[in-house]
A and B are shown apart, each in its own frame.
Chain A
Amino acid sequence: MDKLADIASLMRSKNAGPFMLTIDIMFDDLSVYERVKESGALSRAVVAEKYGLSENKVMFFYCDTALAIKASIPRPITQGDIGDSDGHGGQQFIPLMDIDIP
């Protein structure tokens, strides 16, 4: 069992325009990518749960050529609007770091 953050080569989040947030989880090794993908430990449902959203609000992708898994969610607060805490959305991937990967 490993934590996702310990086997990914890069985890990052960023605005995808002012109204959406996108999270990229990247790997530098095909076998690690496939292990995570096939484990099902990281899924649309898990992202929805971690961010308190219903599943239909989560876009979720496996990007085989990039060895990456990607999720996009609506921003809780529009970029730069009153109350937004992260203008570039760069520190919003943290809830996924501790996911256990068998």
Chain B
Amino acid sequence: MNPDFIGCDAGSTDAGPYYLATGKTAFPLPSIKRDLRIMVKGGRQNNIPVLIGSCGTAGGDIQLRTMFGLLKEIVTEEGLSLRVALVHCEQDFEYLKAKLREGKVHPLDNPPKFDEAVIDGSEHIVGMAGAEPFQEALEGGADVVLCGRASDTAIFASRAMMLGAPEGPSWHAAKILECGNAAATQRKTPDCMMAIIREDHFDIFAGDPEIRCTPQSIASHSLYENADPFELKECSGTLEISEATYEALDERSVRVRGSRFLPANTYTVKLEGAEIAGYQSVTIGSIRDPFMIRQFDDWLARLKEKLAARFEMVYGDTLSPDDYFINFRTYGKDGTMGTLEPVKEITSHELCLVCEITAKTQSLANDLSGIYRHQALHLPIPEWHGLITGLATPYNPSYLERGPVARFNINHVVLPESPLEMFPIEYHDLSA
């Protein structure tokens, strides 16, 4: 194997909105540094570039800086010398507002409302880089490209296309490579994949000789985490694979033909944004009393009424219903699926009741949770005459502070003037 480059998709929205909102990483820094060290050393030993997209989970500027810090430590520890490009993907709010006013922000599927107030209310907004910023960074002589939020596929397709590989196979191979050996028949442990792209096809296999890819395992990977299995939208066009064919080359490699890339008339950059929805406290409790379980829905309805009345008694006009939100989850009943749960009857001998209170401040969420504890503990049921304690609470204090909770607030694309406009690049020459 003589690879032309090493690529890595280091992030996703999959870990949730918290990471974009706060700049924290979903994986611990020692894990990230371990992986980064292997790739950077491999890149330098083979004199090939290392391309990393969606640095630090969400690919905001804080996370890009975090990864840059880890890279500098590795360069020193390993005695390396290299040129790194930092591709910034965090978006300026005034730039986005101007784009919005020009009508150059368009909605995607199932979008939330988007306006200037949403922009101002966001903690961070990133644009998802296409292939061009990676190519620009490589033209600039980068040995290592650390990119903020990037299209998973663009990381891999960018270098392949620079080296003359055709667009269709490059994007399709990239779509499989970006998940590593997730496309293998059995993924023993997360590991890498290798693709060889030629004029009208690509061959793909795992680096580990014991791991097998089959035509079905490779074909089915295009389903994973995509709403549409045949059309994958990128900044510069659409990867169209409805006519792709998959052929076993040997026991562990697959040849793919018929992948097409349809260039878009208009270049689009997907936005991701996160805002703080409030501050949360969570009370975990369990119910074992069969008399309570058999009337659980009624008990919970009465508890909600009682709570509202108690809040009114304590706070009067100073607390409006907009200041807090209470969500109950009942594990053993419908905690996982909510209203979509097909099983309507409770058959469990115990229930876990999670009460989650989100408020404008942490102290209000905590205070309301304190009121909840007392009301839930002692709400009577007709079967027992006298004071009951109907909820078992394992923690003391009974609530857990969750801190700020975030939400994704944008599902839109921007139409930039050029593919590089939203992604400034900064270069550093590092040596031990």
Contact = CB atoms under 8 A, between A and B. Distances in A.
Interface of A: 14-20, 22, 24, 26, 28, 50-52, 59, 61, 63, 65-68, 70, 72, 74-76, 78-83, 85-88, 91-92, 94-95, 98
B342 interface: yes
B329 interface: yes
Nearest to A83: B327
B111 to A, nearest CB: 7
Given A19-B111, A80-B18, A81-B277, A61 B228 contact: yes
A82 B327 contact: yes
Contacts of A19: 108-112, 408, 411
B394 to A, nearest CB: 20
Contacts of A95: 337, 340, 342
B215 interface: yes
A69 to B, nearest CB: 10
B202 to A, nearest CB: 15
19 contacts: A16-B226, A16-B227, A19-B411, A24-B223, A59-B227, A63-B223, A65-B216, A66-B229, A67-B216, A72-B228, A78-B407, A79-B13, A80-B17, A80-B18, A82-B277, A82-B356, A85-B329, A95-B337, A95-B342
B226 to A, nearest CB: 6
Contact of A70 (B111, B216, B223, B327): B223
Contacts of B215: 65
B406 interface: yes
B222 interface: yes
A94 B342 contact: yes
Nearest to A88: B14
Nearest to B228: A59
B17 A92 contact: no
Interface residues of B, number: 45
Given A75-B110, A80-B18, A88-B14, A20 B325 contact: no
B230 interface: yes
Nearest to B244: A65
A98 B278 CA distance: 39
Given A17-B411, A83-B327, A26 B220 contact: yes
B381 interface: no
Contacts of B216: 28, 65-67
A65 B325 contact: no
B338 A20 contact: no
A10 B336 CA distance: 20
A83 B336 CA distance: 11
A17 B13 contact: yes
B333 to A, nearest CB: 12
Nearest to B278: A82
Given A67-B220, A70-B229, 6 more contacts: A16-B226, A19-B408, A24-B224, A79-B16, A82-B358, A85-B336
A67 B245 CA distance: 13
B213 to A, nearest CB: 13
Which of A18, A22, A51 has most B Cβ within 10 Å?
Answer: A18
B265 interface: no
B80 interface: no
Contacts of B245: 65
Contacts of A72: 227-228
Contacts of A68: 220, 223, 229
B225 interface: yes
A85 B329 CA distance: 8
B339 interface: yes
Contact of A20 (B17, B219, B223, B227): B227
Contacts of B358: 82
A20 to B, nearest CB: 5
Contacts of B356: 82
A51 B228 CA distance: 18
Contacts of A92: 337, 340
Contacts of B278: 82
